[in-house]
Structure 1
Amino acid sequence: MTDTILALDDVRLSLMGNAGPVEILRGISLDVERGETLGLTGPSGSGKSSLLMLMGGLERATGGSVTALGRDLGAMGEDDLARFRRDHMGVVFQSFHLIPTMTALENVATPLELAGASDAFERAAEELDAMGLGTRKDHYPAQLSGGEQQRVALARAAVTRPEILLADEPTGNLDGTTGQAIMDLLFGLRDRHGATLVLVTHAPELAERCDRILHLTDGRLDA
């Protein structure tokens, strides 16, 4: 018996451009099983990141349905979606999205504080230690290298122990050696916390580490 954690049924996304509506996704149907690692590949503009954003409820489908952990994301309001992501998902972006006025420790503790955890800073410190950043907790993002910033972003995504971890080009801004280290940490999170991992990548070596690879072209999944 399978345990589907993400289900997309005939998902479509169109956005309004200067010349009228632009079809971004054109009828995507797929199931992601609990504990699976799924790589989304394809050329720039194929819809990979948009598909990931729909899975995280960060973008709303204009057709079809997106279900996560049995919840229809399209039927949820913005506040409910924000709480659902906080409690069940971790999202990692290529450009880190750290809060520049907060230290690494404060950045990682933020989702726990929002959830009302009394031990937010203790758990954030443990996650940073696991990322090899024990001596960098009090540094601000501008004082950290790109690889260190991405590790802080990974720690922030993982600290709530999410069931679903979404990563959009997590090694895209990093050199090869640093990118390899981030890959190891990303799959280490999957192993440590049992999260289902969906990642968008142009890096074949990262995609090949996934249980399954899906390729998008022009808003459609290749057969």
Structure 2
Amino acid sequence: MADPVLSLKDVELTLQGNAGPVAILRGVSLDVHRGETLGLVGPSGSGKSSLLMLMGGLERATGGTVQALGQDLTALDEDALARFRRGRMGVVFQSFYLIPTMTALENVATPLELAGQGDVFDRAATELRAVGLGARMNHYPAQMSGGEQQRVALARATAPRPAILLADEPTGNLDGASGKVIMDLLFDLRDRHDATLVLVTHAAELTARCDRVLHLRDGRIEGESSHRKPASRSASGTAI
């Protein structure tokens, strides 16, 4: 089997609280392989969102190692982490975190420009059309519904064609109909960009579409369930 895209070994995360240190993650080890979709589930406070943030280098482990695409994230400083994520990782949050003074097109073009890629507005427009917002490119976030804003966030995360896509409760702030649209788009974008997807969710419809689901409790992996095997891929990355 090929080397994992993400590899965590004995990961610990302890944060300082008002009453002293609080253990968020306790000795978590796992591998995620190319093309796999992994769901992280568990009760509130189980550590699933913190685990996702560690995978993206957005939180720093206090013990153990976190490797992404062969790079030890625990050895990088904040600037190096930001450079590493650029173009390699896309992150979608429950809150949309769009820049309110920028149009949808500008929001999606920004990470492409930061990554030094060319034709940023043409590529941003292509991504917005892919999520059904071809007619909303010049609208500002305040002029859009929650579902439309999350579509912009999805387009922004996937525009650089990242190898890893991380999603933290991507449908948590949406109504049922909008959430269903986002679910379908998330998996479509995963397939279109040949990305590995890791997501935190409480939605049974999302976990049912994952290849593997990890169940967390009290900062540990309590169990694992498999729903389907990822498609085999040729050396070129094409599903076979």
Do both proteins adopt the same fold according to a TM-score greater than 0.5, normalized to the shorter chain?
yes
Shift of 1:61: 0.1
Deviations 1:160-197 (A, max 9, x none): 00000000000000011110110000000111110000
Question: SS in structure 2 opposite 1:87?
Answer: coil
Question: Aligned AA for 1:9?
Answer: K
Deviation at 1:105, TM superposition (A): 0.2
Corresponding residue for residue 226 of structure 2 = none
What is the match of residue 178 of structure 2? Answer: 178
2:44 counterpart residue number: 44
Partner of 1:103: 103
2:157 maps to 1:157? yes
CA distance in 2, matches of 1:81, 1:16: 23
Partner letter of residue 197 of structure 2?
L
User: What SS is found at the alignment partner of 2:96?
Assistant: coil
Structure 2 equivalent of residue 210 of structure 1: 210
3-state SS of the aligned residue for 2:53? helix
| Rounded Cα–Cα distance in structure 2 between residues aligned with 1:3 and 1:11 | 19
Q: Which runs of 5+ in 2 are unaligned?
A: 224-240
**Equivalent in the alignment of 1:137:** 137
> 3-state SS of the aligned residue for 1:4?
coil
Per the TM alignment, residue 205 of structure 1 is displaced from its structure 2 partner at its CA by 1.1
* SS of aligned partner of 2:86: helix
Q: Counterparts of 1:47-196 in structure 2 under 5 Å?
A: 47-196=47-196
1:68 partner letter: A
Structure 1 residue runs without a partner (length 5+): none
Deviation of the 1:2 alpha carbon: 3.0
Letter paired with 1:42:
G
Task: State the secondary structure of the residue aligned to 2:87.
Answer: helix
Percent of aligned pairs sharing the same letter: 77
Instruction: Give the whole-Å Cα distance in 2 for the aligned partners of 1:118 and 1:209.
Output: 34
Shift in Å, 1:121:
0.5
- In 2, the alpha carbon distance for the partners of 1:168 and 1:130 equals 21
Alpha-carbon distance in 2 for matches of 1:106, 1:30 = 37
- Give RMSD over aligned pairs: 0.7
CA distance in 2, matches of 1:149, 1:133: 10
- CA offset digits 1:59-100 (Å, max 9, x no partner): 000000000000000101111100111120000000011000
Deviation at 1:125, TM superposition (A): 0.3
Between 1 and 2, higher relative CO (CA 8 Å, sep ≥ 6) is seen in: 1
TM-score by length of 2: 0.92
Tell me, what secondary structure is at the counterpart of 2:161? coil
Specify the SS of the correspondent of 1:102.
coil
Instruction: Give secondary structure in 1 for the equivalent of 2:26.
Output: strand
Aligned residue identity for 1:34: R
- Rounded to whole Å, the distance in 2 between the matches of 1:190 and 1:116 is 23
Aligned residues: 223
Structure 1: 4+ residue segments shifted above 3 A: none
Structure having the higher helix fraction is 1
Partner Cα separation in structure 2 for residue 138 and residue 55 of structure 1: 33
Q: What is the alpha-carbon distance in structure 2 between the residues aligned to residue 87 and residue 150 of structure 1?
A: 20
